[in-house]
Structure 1
Amino acid sequence: MAEGDRVAMECSTAPTQPASSDRSSDTLDTTFDSLEVGTSRSGDASSSLEDYVVEGKIGSGKFSTVYIARHLKSGRSVALKKIQLFDMMDATARRNCLNEVNTLKCLDHVNIIKYLEAFMQDNELVIVLEWADQGDLSKLLQERRAEEKKFSEVEIWAIFTQVCSGLKHMHGGRIMHRDLKPSNVFLSSGGVLKLGDLGLSRYFSSKTLQVNSVVGTPFYMSPECIKEQPYDWSSDVWSLGCLLYELITLRSPFYREGSNFYLLGKQITSCDYDPLPAGTPAEMVKLVCDMLRSNPKERLSIDQICEQALRCRERAEARVK
């Protein structure tokens, strides 16, 4: 069985229908039971908050807060995400929360943040995730901009191929990321990069070809998303193209000083970005161009991108030996 088929079968319980806006707390509890929240990835009985020591707050959103914590029994550092589930009166927010649990449970790849377990406690959903101890790619890009120190060709391919590998695994399991950007690429020891923050991902059944909901971060949104048109896997490819451009130049292809959402949207839909700097390897220039195409049908597939990027990485590494 192909890897994509295996992952898709394992993900068959992921929600594909909108949650009702009048769904009650009791119904929601039942839904979580059916999703096996309360067991770890290994199938063991779940922990509780008493099994963790919270060591600091990482960040927070409208309904959630993320902490770094330590599991008492194993001593392992983890990211612990607490979600005020029953404060989510909006059906979409609840559906995205359910989706995040299902999505994380389905994915097992070195370049994707690993789901460890989830449980309900004190009317909150607690999701325990692998901890990436070196921050995220956005922070690294900020440091490089401050130092005016661009990535070398080898560094760019090393980063990019890992992001591609994680995204290929997701697409193989019929899952889109839908919010691919530097702050959602996490760094761990040994130079390993991991895709994370999959709360906006959506499971695609075999009959689902496109979706319509407008999500994502404006600088990395595809033209079809900006125009609120249906979009598919190639929308992730567009975001991947933006990320490669930023690795080369240390800025988003559509960043303009003093711009606004309207002007940004016009730039994206017209594919208006500055050419890559002189001296950029031809393979990088072509790959960016082949991902940042206005027509989604003209963009490369993630398989094609991975194949080309790996070849370029091998050649670049061979040249510096």
Structure 2
Amino acid sequence: MSIQQNVLGPLSAQGVSDPYGALKNFEVIKKLGYGHFSVVYSARNRFNNVYVALKKVELSQMADAKAIEDCKREISLLQQLNHPNVIKYISHFVEENDLYIVLELASAGDLAQMIKHFIKTNKRMTEKTIWKFFRQICSGLEHMHSKRIMHRDIKPANIFVSAEGIVRLGDLGLGRFFGSKTNSAHSMVGTPYYMSPERIHEHDLGYDFRSDIWSLGCILYEMAALRSPFYGENLNLVLLRKKILSLDYAPLPANIFSHELRHLVARCLVLDPEQRPDISEVNHIAQVMYARFVEQANTANNTPTPTPTSRDDSACGSITPVNNR
């Protein structure tokens, strides 16, 4: 069976009339990023002038059937999702042994780039901005979990931002669908800094949706501290595992960030997954907190309130270092 038949099989796109169904239909503009076997470009569709993200996957470089199955799984998962805070799947096609996945474009880049900008300019995110972003991340993840899809690789580089400030979860290359009889997964995949204790453990403990909640806690912390809670210089996997399993991270400063933010981080970063809140609860907290900061800003006529971080979205404070233990 050919690579094209392997990948497209039951997942064929909309047909030959699909304006997104061939590379000649696009004007490729620039490279946005890359992975092990993939490159993502921004592109303009020649038929309707819609700007998209074009993910090119080099199938010929994949030596095993599992990698191709991963591609099929990513497309299948994307097709099941329809939410404003999840990158939208548009189409896919294969040309010259390369798979192209056409996706919604988030033109302002990703959260990792944004965090680097804050570090470079010696600024920090206001808490209102943190909640504004975090509530959208949670809303997208709640939709995924409602479809019994676990992301498994939530990290700043997979959280995309549009020019309008809309945040979208993307890159489902490691996503996993849980059938009605599936209770846990066992593959140790993901990005180590954001992997839960049960996923990074040297013994195969198995994990479920609450592993994504741990990753959310890491994201919330990183937006405040501008670094991963478990970041360390020259950490190998063994030392990182030890750091995670001992919950060795510096607390966020209480004089800058609200009790609610710090408490939610602590509740997500719990070793026992059963003790973590589910996505519905985390999302509810995020929505309530953002609404509170918006109300404060409106009451004060867009001037700073007594809460240190309650400023408008464009305002930034100077970075207060998070001291290491």
User: Where on the TM-score scale, by shorter chain, does this alignment land: which range?
Assistant: 0.7 to 0.9
Tell whether 2:284 aligns with 1:310: no
Are positions 1:276 and 2:255 aligned together?
no
Cα–Cα, structure 1 residues 126 and 258, in superposed 2: closer, same or farther, change >3 Å?
closer
- Counterpart of 1:5 in structure 2 is none
Query: Is 2:32 aligned against 1:55?
Result: no
Secondary structure, counterpart of 2:106 in structure 1:
coil
Q: Does 1:238 align with 2:218?
A: no
Alpha-carbon distance between aligned partners in 2 of 1:297 and 1:284, rounded to the nearest angstrom:
20
1:114-193 maps to which residues of 2 (within 5 A)? 114-193=88-167
Secondary structure, counterpart of 2:125 in structure 1: coil
- The Cα shift of 1:262 comes to 1.6
Alpha-carbon distance in 2 for matches of 1:66, 1:151: 28
| Runs of 4+ more than 3 Å apart | 37-40, 43-46
* Aligned partner (choices 72, 80, 103) of residue 77 of structure 2: 103
Report the alpha carbon displacement of residue 123 of structure 1 after superposing the two structures with TM: 2.0
| Long gaps (5+) in structure 1 | 1-23
**What residue ranges of structure 2 are gaps of 5+ in the alignment?**
299-325
**AA partner of residue 259 (structure 2):** A
1:195-214 equivalence runs, <5 A = 195-214=169-188
Q: What SS does the corresponding residue of 2:123 show, helix, strand or coil? A: coil
Give the distance between the partners of 2:86 and 2:113, measured in 1 at CA: 18
Percent of paired sites with the same residue: 44
CA shift for structure 1 position 86: 3.9
Give the superposition deviation at 1:278.
2.4
Give distance in 2, aligned partners of 1:293 and 1:215: 20
CA distance, structure 1, for counterparts of residue 32 and residue 288 of structure 2? 37
| SS of match in other structure, 2:286 | helix
Displacement of 1:191 in angstroms is: 0.7
Paired residue secondary structure (2:108): coil
The verdict on how the C-alpha distance between 1:131 and 1:33 changes in structure 2, with shifts beyond 3 A counting, is same
Give the CA deviation at 1:297. Answer: 0.4
Q: CA deviation at 1:46?
A: 5.2
Q: In the TM superposition, what are the counterparts of 1:11-90 in structure 2 within 5 Å?
A: 24-25=1-2, 29=5, 32-39=8-15, 44=18, 47-90=21-64
Q: How far, CA to CA, are the matches of 1:39 and 1:160 in structure 2?
A: 37
Q: How many residues get paired?
A: 295
Task: Tell me whether 1:300 sits opposite 2:277 in the alignment.
Answer: yes
1:23-67 alpha-carbon deviations (Å, 9 max, x no partner): x436x6156231223549xx9575211111111222333322222
For 1:226, the equivalent position in structure 2 comes to 200
Paired with 1:258 and 1:87, the residues of 2 have a C-alpha distance of: 30
Distance, in Å, in 1 between the alignment partners of 2:246 and 2:23 is: 50
The one-letter code of the counterpart of 2:207 is Y
What SS does structure 2 have at the residue aligned with 1:68? strand
What per-residue deviation string (whole Å, max 9, x for no partner) do you get for residues 112-161 of structure 1?
11111011222221111111110100011011112221111111110100
Distance 2:245 2:65 in 1: 30
Matched AA of 1:299: R
1:285 maps onto 2:262 in alignment: yes
Q: Structure 2: which amino acid aligns with 1:36?
A: S
Q: What CA deviation, in whole Å up to 9, does each residue of 1:147-193 have, x standing for no partner?
A: 22111111111010000001000001000110000110001021101
